[in-house]
Structure 1
Amino acid sequence: MNNEIDKIKLDKAFELLNFRLTENKSDLVEIVVCGGSALIYTGLITRTTKDVDIVALMKKGILSSPDPLPDVLIKSFQEVAEDLGLDDNWINNAVSRGEGGLFQLGLPDYFQQRLISRDYGEKLKVHFISRIDQIYFKLYASVDRGGYHINDLLKLEPNDDELLAASRWVITHDVSLEFLNLLKNFLVMIGYEKVSGKL
């Protein structure tokens, strides 16, 4: 089973998800997507991913928590997983689940205005986050978890002003002195000493 998702497979999965939502008599579902699938769709980075990270839901222009996900969405994306041989949780809300989630702790200013939207049919609209918001989220994930998030962040090539703004946002999510020191050391490690010195 090849559960790696590239842009072609991502589009196919969303088109099929729209079909399944229609079959299951769903209302319009609008999801806000971050992470690798948003990077792939927007062409910011060329790679594959294993899942679609839902950071928020939207209804009539209002963002809301994706925790919990609507039952009809879960049923529909699990059917798509079976159709395409994807992981059962190829769509998930892990990034905005519980009190420490990204949505719950607060999204960046003007986040919604920067979304890049695509209609996949009458029942599914997907909003992908922007490059700026990827920088914010990837900086937070890089300091918190490291790994491939660091590579993603560096490929986005943030300038000093962008990384400073992102840094000021991430320290509102973890206000501990320990996290601030980790952040400052990380910025030095990746070559942004000037940004580190302004925190």
Structure 2
Amino acid sequence: MKPLDGQNLDRALQAVASALAHARAEPETVVICGGAALLSLGFISRRTKDVDVLAGVHPVDGLVDPRPFSSALKQAVEEVAKALGLPSNWFNAGPADQVMAGLPEGFLSRLQRREYGSHLIVFLPDRYDLIHLKLFAGVDQGPGRHWSDLKALNPTRDEMLAAARWVLGQDAGEVFPGVVRDALRIHDYADIADQL
């Protein structure tokens, strides 16, 4: 498996755009998140194993479930995986359920647009929204890269409080609020935990 850094991430996305154009396919528009978004925005320098597609973007409906990918996009992604030595799932819709679960208020209006040729538009979440998503991932998956990524985003206390309140709404389970508070305390955000 060849991990993606900022340079080969851009190369891979440009190659997808080129493959779509070569196939005379319709242009594709997606929202990516996770490590690939952080790399693209320059918040981290670590490598990532994949590109997490959070949503598709429809001109009328806004954010939509990207699954299943169009046959043209699927084919382009497979071609790029073979050409660049990437794993078959390097471009995936793993976090797409989050669109249905809910995103921070105003998420769509804060997206940042990147064009890769004429056939691929990628939207990236704003730093504020990445803080929310990374906190949720950190609480959900425990210590590791999500907390390191969150630290790289350098959230203010107000941003962390807003993110923590949003995260609390992502799971209706009885124990989840305690899990969120414990995770915050472990990572030096006891003052935020005490405000929830």
Q: Distance in 2 between matches of 1:86 and 1:191?
A: 37
1:1-12 residue pairs with structure 2 within 5 A?
A: 3-12=2-11
Secondary structure at 2:99 match in 1: helix
Displacement of 1:70: 1.7
Counterpart position of 2:50: 51
Counterpart position of 1:143: 139
1:11-22 residue pairs with structure 2 within 5 A?
A: 11-22=10-21
Q: Which of the numbers 161, 164, 174 marks the counterpart of 1:164?
A: 161
Query: Do structure 1's residue 123 and structure 2's residue 124 form an aligned pair?
Result: no
Deviations 1:86-133 (A, max 9, x none): 11111000111xxxx211101111111211111111111111112111
Query: Do structure 1's residue 182 and structure 2's residue 179 form an aligned pair?
Result: yes
Contact 2:63–2:99 (8 Å) recurs in 1: no
Counterpart position of 2:69: 69
Give the 4+ runs in structure 1 shifted more than 3 A: none
Counterpart position of 1:103: 99
User: Match for 2:69: what amino acid?
Assistant: L
| CA RMSD between the two structures | 1.2
TM-score, normalising length: structure 2: 0.95
Secondary structure at 1:58 match in 2: strand
Displacement of 1:25: 2.1
User: Match for 2:161: what amino acid?
Assistant: L
TM-score, normalising length: structure 1: 0.93
Displacement of 1:67: 2.1
Displacement of 1:187: 0.9
Counterpart position of 1:79: 79
Secondary structure at 1:73 match in 2: helix
Secondary structure at 2:128 match in 1: helix
Q: Which runs of 5+ in 1 are unaligned?
A: none
Secondary structure at 2:95 match in 1: helix
Secondary structure at 1:141 match in 2: helix
User: Match for 1:149: what amino acid?
Assistant: H
Q: Distance in 1 between matches of 2:128 and 2:93?
A: 21
Q: Distance in 1 between matches of 2:29 and 2:166?
A: 25
Displacement of 1:177: 2.4
